[in-house]
Amino acid sequence: MAEAIHDAVLIHVGYHRTASSWLQKYLFSHPKSGLRWIGKAKDDHPVRQLIMLRWSEFEPGAVRALFDPYLERVRGRGSVPVVSFERLSGHPCSGGYDSAVIAERLRAVFPEGRVLVVLREQRAAIVSNYKRYVRAGGPATLRDFVLPPSTNNLRVPLFDFRHFEYHHLIRRYRELFGPDRVLTLAYEQFVREPHSFVTAIAGFVGRALGPRLVRNLPYGTYEQETLSPVALLAMRRLNHFVRSEVNPAPALDLRRHRDLKHVAKSRALDALVPNRLAERNEAALRRDAEELVGDRYVESNRITAELTGLDLAGYGYAI
């Protein structure tokens, strides 16, 4: 039986594309898990204040006051509150430029917090995040996405390979909260060993999941649809003609483009393209990622494995 941890708050910070939506819906919201996600959906939700407030506007006490009604409601039901939002680890499109600032804000707002970090092998993580970038309106190829133009002025935060050097952020959270209050898991654990993955999370905050609950969670369910190789190609080209957060100045802004995007997302185009061509495009994307990443994460992964005790080599990370 796990030992109960009084007044704990589980802070799940991501990273992106590591089953965050699944955790939020199926583990952190399960009525028998002893955990309860406080949500993130509305624009005025307090979790977004941790990100959106400028440095001159952030006041820990005021932000905590916004969270307290959520925390008290969950604790009143005998559950552990969960603050879960993958954006808390930074964002790949902006190179995680604010990840350390957010970590410091989390420590100031939740001094009783216990932090969950979930990693993913970098080549797979970059490909998956690139697909989400295209889905969000991005027009760049993978190569242009990961190698954006830049100057020494650093005018705009853009993709930065260092965002996926995981040891930096893990170290910072361990410094802020203490090593025993930071749990690091790998997405690959969730894929290969889902029972032990969810059991470790619950045990980290003093909750013991029943065997039936652990056995019956819908592990094969994926909450965020991924683009097919054909849809990825189609949408990336269409994205040249719509204004979005990741493409603020398109050559031409076609308002009807949004309808065309729905066609691409529906996979209606897949039937028009031979499977062999689609598979070739997907393989090329992964080859490009392999070439672009190279061995740049070997040293970081070695340090991360030492910090966390994770068998990253066994999960396919470059060591």
Task: Let me know whether 209 and 181 are in one domain.
Answer: yes
Task: Let me know whether 14 and 161 are in one domain.
Answer: yes
Task: Let me know whether 300 and 289 are in one domain.
Answer: no
Task: Let me know whether 150 and 285 are in one domain.
Answer: no
Q: What is the pTM of this model?
A: 0.92
Task: Let me know whether 236 and 198 are in one domain.
Answer: no
Q: Considering the domain boundaries, does residue 4 fall inside one?
A: no
Q: What's the confidence (pLDDT) of residue 267? A: 60
Task: Let me know whether 36 and 140 are in one domain.
Answer: yes
Q: Considering the domain boundaries, does residue 1 fall inside one?
A: no
Q: What's the confidence (pLDDT) of residue 259? A: 61
Task: Let me know whether 134 and 44 are in one domain.
Answer: yes
Q: Considering the domain boundaries, does residue 178 fall inside one?
A: yes
Q: What's the confidence (pLDDT) of residue 1? A: 42
The CA distance from 96 to 171, in Å, is 15
Q: Considering the domain boundaries, does residue 3 fall inside one?
A: no
Task: Let me know whether 287 and 300 are in one domain.
Answer: no
Write down the H helix ranges in the chain.
Answer: 20-22, 46-52, 60-76, 99-109, 122-135, 142-146, 166-177, 187-192, 194-204, 211-216, 229-238, 257-265, 275-293, 298-308
pLDDT tens by residue, the chain, 319 residues: 455 576 899 999 999 999 999 999 999 999 999 999 999 877 789 999 999 999 999 999 999 999 999 999 999 999 999 999 999 999 999 999 999 999 999 999 999 999 999 999 999 999 999 999 999 999 999 999 999 998 888 899 999 999 999 999 999 999 999 999 999 999 999 999 999 999 999 999 999 999 999 999 999 887 666 677 777 887 888 888 888 899 999 888 876 555 655 655 556 666 656 667 767 878 889 999 999 999 999 999 999 999 999 999 999 999 9
Query: Residue 308, Cα to own-chain centre: how many angstroms?
Result: 19
Q: Considering the domain boundaries, does residue 301 fall inside one?
A: yes
Q: Considering the domain boundaries, does residue 256 fall inside one?
A: yes
Q: Considering the domain boundaries, does residue 273 fall inside one?
A: yes
Q: Which of 214, 163, 165 is nearest to 190 (CA)?
A: 214
Task: Let me know whether 161 and 126 are in one domain.
Answer: yes
Task: Let me know whether 178 and 289 are in one domain.
Answer: no
Task: Let me know whether 250 and 182 are in one domain.
Answer: no
Task: Let me know whether 285 and 302 are in one domain.
Answer: no
Sheet bearing 35-37, strands edge to edge: 35-37, 80-84, 9-12, 113-119, 182-186
Read off the CATH number of the domain in which 178 is found.
3.40.50.300
Q: Considering the domain boundaries, does residue 2 fall inside one?
A: no
Instruction: Count the domains in the chain.
Output: 2
Helix (H, G, I), strand (E, B) or coil at 91: coil
| Number of alpha carbons in the 13 Å side-chain half-sphere of residue 220 | 1
CA distances 205 to 28, 33, 68, 264, 266, Å, are 12, 11, 19, 42, 40
Q: What's the confidence (pLDDT) of residue 265? A: 59
Do the Cβ atoms of 308 and 180 come closer than 8 Å?
no
Domain that holds residue 277: 229-293
Q: What's the confidence (pLDDT) of residue 224? A: 64
Q: What's the confidence (pLDDT) of residue 217? A: 97
